């Protein structure tokens, strides 16, 4: 069962890597309330319009993820929502969401514009706000445990770092609300993403760590000590590449990371926060 969940995480990792950016409290409700920003009136911020329904035959529209004032996902299993809401990446999940149920869902959640705080919400803050939504609509109850788990440590490879340091962002124009801070917010941005390809700009080592968890299938721990922002291009041949594919014969993710980024993935074991699903139900109708 655990292997099946890892496989699903790999399948959906590329879609959610930009939105999903540790956790220690015992319940979804307590975790979300502890982290939620507040409305201008001081109340905990919450999604005021929520739609969760089984996916039909109609195609989805818009960009998936959590941005500005809401979250939008189409044709996804409950596991994918849990990954985003709890920022799990390759951290293990124990317990099968809706066992035997292969239903896929569409989820839309919006904040009332009058409740939006003056400081723009990050994708991570919006994703955290999905936790009480899942607790309410799926009756999801979880707790956390620490378990020894196979991981990869990122270290500097012999020969040194090959990623380029990113140029600092330009200052905002006069009159821009961000002018008092003197700089635009920095964010890891994909220039090109495909099967066995990542071209990214302005990424921290935490971003690199998150990106590598999908193709390696393990939780990744940064041991480099690097604190900068970097641009890089990474090309590799995924493990499931057919022999007649144009990608066949290319480097593995481990070789590519070492040769192209100047980093090395070393297998290890470490205590990792594990999300345990205690109970869950099919969603209540809208």
- Each residue of 224-233: pLDDT tens digit? 999 999 999 9
For the chain, the distance separating the N- and C-terminal CA atoms, rounded to the nearest angstrom, is: 30
In terms of average pLDDT, the best of 75-79, 233-237, 247-251, 272-276 is 233-237
Q: What is the mean pLDDT of residues 267-275?
A: 93
- On the question of pLDDT at 154 being above 70, the answer is yes
pLDDT score, position 12 = 43
Higher pLDDT residue, 97 or 178?
97
Q: What is the mean pLDDT of residues 69-75?
A: 91
Give the residue extent of every domain in the chain: 2-147+273-279, 148-271
pTM summary value: 0.66
Q: What is the Rg, in whole angstroms, of the alpha carbon atoms belonging to the chain?
A: 20
- On the question of pLDDT at 28 being above 50, the answer is no
- CB-neighbour burial class of residue 32 (10 A; exposed 0-12, middle 13-18, buried 19+): buried
Dihedral angle of Cα 131, 28, 82, 53, to the nearest 10 degrees: -50
Residue with tokens 């440590």: 153
pLDDT score, position 133 = 95
pLDDT band for 164, please (50, 70, 90 cuts): very high
- CB-neighbour burial class of residue 7 (10 A; exposed 0-12, middle 13-18, buried 19+): exposed
Give the model confidence (pLDDT) of 204-237 as tens digits.
999 999 899 889 989 899 999 999 999 999 999 9
- CB-neighbour burial class of residue 181 (10 A; exposed 0-12, middle 13-18, buried 19+): exposed
pLDDT score, position 5 = 39
């Amino acid at each position: 069962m655990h292997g099946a969940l890892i496989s699903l995480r790999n399948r959906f990792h590329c879609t959610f890597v930009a939105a999903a950016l540790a956790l220690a409290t015992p319940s979804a409700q307590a975790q979300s309330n502890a982290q939620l920003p507040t409305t201008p009136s001081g109340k905990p911020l919450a999604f005021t319009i929520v739609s969760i329904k089984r996916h039909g035959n109609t195609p989805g529209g818009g960009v998936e993820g959590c941005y500005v004032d809401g979250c939008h996902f189409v044709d996804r299993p409950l596991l994918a929502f849990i990954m985003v809401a709890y920022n799990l990446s390759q951290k293990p999940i124990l317990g099968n969401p809706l066992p035997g149920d292969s239903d896929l869902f569409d989820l839309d959640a919006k904040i009332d514009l009058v409740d939006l705080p003056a400081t723009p919400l990050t994708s991570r803050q919006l994703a955290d706000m999905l936790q009480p939504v899942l607790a309410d609509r799926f009756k999801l109850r979880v707790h956390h445990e620490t378990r020894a788990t196979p991981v990869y440590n990122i270290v500097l490879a012999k020969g040194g770092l090959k990623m380029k340091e990113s140029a600092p962002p330009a200052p905002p124009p006069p009159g821009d609300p961000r002018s008092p801070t003197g700089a635009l917010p920095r964010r890891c941005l994909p220039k090109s993403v495909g099967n066995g390809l990542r071209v990214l700009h302005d990424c921290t080592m935490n971003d690199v760590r998150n990106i590598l968890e999908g193709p390696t299938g393990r939780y990744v721990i940064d041991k480099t000590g690097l604190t900068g922002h970097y641009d890089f291009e990474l090309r590799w041949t995924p493990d499931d590449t057919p022999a007649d594919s144009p990608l066949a014969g290319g480097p593995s993710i481990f070789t590519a990371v070492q040769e192209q980024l100047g980093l090395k993935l070393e297998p290890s074991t470490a205590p990792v926060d594990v999300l345990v699903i205690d109970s869950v139900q099919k969603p209540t109708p809208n």
